[in-house]
Amino acid sequence: MTKQDFVNKFYPAAKAAGAEFNINPVVILAQAAIESGWGESKLSSYNNFFGITAYGRINNYWHGGKIQLADNGLTFRRYDTMENSFMDYCRLIRGSYRTSADLSFHPAAFAKSIAYSKYISEVNGDNRASYQILMEKLSASIATLVPKQH
């Protein structure tokens, strides 16, 4: 899948979730690109495009489905639809990372906020600066690929 194919396929879900939770769809797509390897990860085949683990309460978007990709590994959420994955991500960001959500229309500020938040697992904690830079670059790149509004 090319980057343009990724944007074409997932932009409608990012736009709808972004509108529901007041989060910039560009940063939603950038986060999805990082966490799902541009939609090619094993986890994305279970409609989990954000690496969200299976902790927490069942909600309107996650109905309790789980998947464990490795023996003794983390258990992740499995979603019924791609759209539910995007909605649940935005619900999580708006509810638990409000500062980041509020900065989402300023992608560089969002990238720094989310990279240094608890959203990034401690396993990846040493890579926060790299994650921030990658988020910034992807947000800028994706912004050029998003369909223009008429």
Q: Band of the pLDDT at 122, cuts 50, 70, 90?
A: low
Distances (CA, A) of 128 to 10, 32, 69, 105, 123: 25, 17, 24, 20, 11
Extents of the domains making up the chain: 3-39+82-145
Fold of 3-39+82-145: Lysozyme (1.10.530)
What percentage of the chain's residues is helix, strand, coil (to nearest 5)?
A: 60, 5, 35
| pLDDT tens for each residue of 43-100 | 999 999 999 999 999 999 999 999 998 888 889 999 999 999 999 999 999 999 999 9
Task: Give the pTM.
Answer: 0.94
